Amino acid sequence: IRVPADLRLLATTALMVDESVFTGESVPVVKQIEPVPPDTPLADRRSMVYLGTIITSGRGIGVVVATGPATELGKIAQLARGEAQPETPLQRQMARFARLVALFVVIGIGVISAFGLLRGDPLVLLFKFAVGAAVAIVPEGLPIVLTLVFAVSAQRMARRRAIVRQLAAVETLGSTTVIGSDKTGTLTENRMTAHSIWAAGELLSLTSPHDGSEHAQTLRVPVHDLHRYSFWHLPPAARVLLTGVLANEATLVPREETEQELEGIGDPTDIALLVAGAHAGLVREEVEQVYPIVAVVPFEPERRFAAVVSRVGDTLYLFAKGAPERIMEMCSSWSTPTGTAPLDAEQILAAAQDLAAQGLRVLGFAAGPIAPETAERLEALLQPHDLTFLGLVGLWDSPRPGVREAIAQCTEAGIRVVMITGDHAATAAAIAEHLGIAARQNGVLTGRELQRLSDEELREAVRRVSVFARVEPEQKLRIVRALQANGETVAVTGDGVNDAPALRAAEIGVAMGKSGTDVAREAADIVLTDDNFVTIVAAVEEGRGAFDNLRKATFFLISTGAAMIFVLPFAILANWPLPFYPAQLLWLNLVTNGLQDVAMAFEPKEPGLMRRRPRPRREGILSPLLWERTLLSGLVMAAGTLYLFDWTLRATGSLDLARTVALTTMVIFQNFQVGNARSSTRSLFRMSPISNRVLFVAVLAAFGIHVAALYLPITQFVLRVEPIPLEIWPRIIAIAATILVTVELHKLIRRRWPRRDSWEASHTQTPETPVQPAPTARALS
């Protein structure tokens, strides 16, 4: 039952509420009527129930204290609506880049026009030429490339289960420096599993990432063994699991999608015990045939235990599970490696504390014979008995498969992962340590502690703390703002309504597609269809690849534009005829250039992409390394074009042929330069020409279209070009090939002596020892 408003409880009977929409806790919370202090965090207000939470069991009576916008859920929604979407790094960089290009265009055209006027060129010719030069220099194809790069990357992300709602989010995700992740359902499976069993003084770990019962196979108890052996002849750990299967109010049913898998209905803790038992061969229906149940004591918060009475042969047995302290009150003995001994409460409590220190939820188990008359009266069953304490089970919301490795990959990529959860501090710390987010000694900052910090103190705290627990929506928003104030580009994950404000405030909001609420998905930029942190890392990789391709296309466009900036003023200063007609400049930029820059959007990701550090915020579309290469490339292409223009004019005396040769030289320069642009560090000759088939076809098409234009009468008339004699072609190709040699030498030099401010060539400092995989469980004997 979903709670319809915020209520102050007046009476409860075994009332349990799922508050995961607010807290992220995967276990229902026990409610009570005792008042709590006004400053108590929302997750600890046991006397309140809130709109949007779900009643899982029990009954209660309360008075409505808030409805609509005045509820906690309403306040969160208002907080999310009031949070403006931050400007993305790319938007800031594109604005700077546009101003820079505009400045170059104005200066370049101003200089060219001034010299043209000084030498007496007609104003009409200068105007046409200025327009053509502006078209040649300005990368008009960049907006198309930008959109196409993001669209292609969004499609690639969708194939990896990340749906992009805002195209700009593709690049922003690639520049992320901090990922603030929720715990429940993102880092973990949002499914309780049995982590370990402590029985007869020995610990058995059950840490399979899929079902929490990897080593339950070593306990396998065939049904005929249950008939053959008495309860006390079973292995100690099997006795614990058998008790957990019997004293259980949950049910396992076939999953709708497939009959091969089971899903649980009921309390998550009971479901975890049933699953662990089933993997040990203790299927509930089969166990109950051997140990038929004759009475049930259901769990209630006040009792702190649940129990059943079963017939074991001719004897009635009470099987109980619950809080370890409560179960010990019902026992006079305990199972030891050598048999049964008087109860050692100190040793049992120490074992329970060790499990709890790992962030586990700990349950105690006991069993023993009872008198027939006791089984007939509930009051008698609630009294202490001379039971035998069987052992403990530690349960947890197990981490998702692959998350530990994904976090290690983030670390290698220079991305810091922080956990922001509403769950308990001990649980958060244990999961974080297991996943490699933070060592236990780094500490956990709780919501109560965070509340006492000023904004400046919080900015310092978020530099060192990577785990935040018992955090409320407003506090999660403060954490995001503190990280941003420190210059971080923040991606935040969330699935609940409580996550919406932080999702909107972060540069990238990532919502869960399966478990996420509509409010969270609306506030997010990206939606994960599998609710898996591993998918976020895959999306970051695609985002980095998208910006890489945008940068490659921009370098290609700007470097050819730079050649024009050098060619035109030189021709005017040298008192030469202009090497290009305005129509030829348009042809160069819109036709031959236009095919190849668009094809750069389909460039595959470079190896080592996730070993680079995140791109600095202050760095523009082109890095210092690429500006250096742009200047060098522009000079080489300009020099080669001017040389062939002058040589052809001297050799043939035909100005139109000289201009045709200059135009063709620039076209072939572009064909070679687009190959250089495919990687800022790798040699062109180490890349397959067909790894980007679209680009391969685009280069051939651009060259073919240009050659056809030289020989078709209509294009000869429009572009004022002539067929080029066959003997000139080798000279054109040889000169154009100098750009390959130049850029290859530049790459070689920068590989050996990289720039300190080069993002492309950078790699994060990784530990000398490789990241270790998650520890595998082993049975302790």
**pLDDT class for 258, splitting at 50, 70, 90?**
low
Domain hosting 448: range is 178-187+402-537
Within-domain flag for 46: yes
- Predicted pLDDT of residue 152: 92
Are 572 and 472 in a shared domain? Answer: no
Enter the DSSP assignment of 187. I
Are 208 and 153 in a shared domain? Answer: no
Are 505 and 568 in a shared domain? Answer: no
Within-domain flag for 275: yes
Within-domain flag for 302: yes
| pLDDT surpasses 80 at 572 | no
Of the candidate ranges 218-227, 245-254, 357-366, 611-620, the one whose mean pLDDT is the lowest: 218-227
Tokens (6 digits) for 443:
């500490």
225 is catalytic: no
Tokens (6 digits) for 232:
């006390």
| Euclidean distance between CA atoms 401 and 406, whole angstroms | 10
Mean pLDDT comparison of 437-451, 508-522, 585-599, 741-755, highest-scoring range: 741-755
Enter the DSSP assignment of 780. -
- Predicted pLDDT of residue 130: 73
- Predicted pLDDT of residue 16: 87
**pLDDT class for 138, splitting at 50, 70, 90?**
confident
CA angle 58, 63, 64 (to 5 degrees): 110
| Euclidean distance between CA atoms 573 and 570, whole angstroms | 5
Domain end (from 399, 414, 438): 399
**pLDDT class for 177, splitting at 50, 70, 90?**
very high
* Per-residue pLDDT tens digits for 318-345: 999 999 999 999 999 999 988 899 999 9
pLDDT over 70 percentage in the chain? 90
pLDDT, the chain, mean: 85
Are 275 and 387 in a shared domain? Answer: yes
Within-domain flag for 155: yes
CATH number of the CATH domain containing 311: 3.40.1110.10
State the total domains in the chain.
4
Of the candidate ranges 255-269, 388-402, 731-745, the one whose mean pLDDT is the lowest: 255-269
Average pLDDT score over residue span 18-22: 78
| pLDDT surpasses 60 at 777 | no
Within-domain flag for 764: no
Within-domain flag for 202: yes
| Euclidean distance between CA atoms 492 and 505, whole angstroms | 9
Are 576 and 684 in a shared domain? Answer: yes
| Euclidean distance between CA atoms 451 and 63, whole angstroms | 29
Tokens 């049975």: give the residue.
Answer: 779
Are 242 and 322 in a shared domain? Answer: yes
With 0-12 CB in 10 A as exposed, 13-18 as middle and 19+ as buried, what is 696? Answer: middle
Q: Say whether 294 sits in a helix, a strand or coil.
A: strand
CATH number of the CATH domain containing 20: 2.70.150.10
Mean pLDDT comparison of 21-35, 211-225, 434-448, 662-676, highest-scoring range: 662-676
- Predicted pLDDT of residue 772: 40
Within-domain flag for 16: yes
Strand 387-399 to 188-199 pairing = antiparallel
Are 316 and 430 in a shared domain? Answer: no
Threshold 0.85, pTM exceeds: no
| Euclidean distance between CA atoms 501 and 477, whole angstroms | 6
- Predicted pLDDT of residue 128: 67
Average pLDDT score over residue span 270-279: 91
* Per-residue pLDDT tens digits for 465-523: 999 998 888 899 999 999 999 999 999 988 777 788 889 889 999 998 887 777 788 88
| Euclidean distance between CA atoms 155 and 711, whole angstroms | 40
* Per-residue pLDDT tens digits for 703-731: 999 999 999 999 999 999 999 999 999 99
Are 555 and 480 in a shared domain? Answer: no
Q: Say whether 742 sits in a helix, a strand or coil.
A: helix
Closest CA to 587 of 421, 470, 709: 709
The helix or strand, by DSSP H or E, that contains position 342, with its residue range, turns out to be: strand 339-342
CATH number of the CATH domain containing 126: 1.20.1110.10
Average pLDDT score over residue span 429-448: 82
Are 376 and 416 in a shared domain? Answer: no
Enter the DSSP assignment of 733. H
Domain end (from 356, 382, 399): 399
Within-domain flag for 300: yes
| Euclidean distance between CA atoms 543 and 614, whole angstroms | 11
| Euclidean distance between CA atoms 700 and 670, whole angstroms | 12
- Predicted pLDDT of residue 771: 38
Enter the DSSP assignment of 377. -
Using CA atoms, how far residue 238 sits from 13, 243, 245, 360, in Å, is 33, 9, 10, 20
Enter the DSSP assignment of 633. H
Domain end (from 365, 399, 433): 399
Are 133 and 215 in a shared domain? Answer: no
Bridge partners for 389 per DSSP: 334, 366
Enter the DSSP assignment of 773. P
Are 206 and 354 in a shared domain? Answer: yes
The helix or strand, by DSSP H or E, that contains position 508, with its residue range, turns out to be: strand 508-512
Are 36 and 120 in a shared domain? Answer: no
Q: Of 39, 44, 121, 182, which is the active-site residue? A: 182
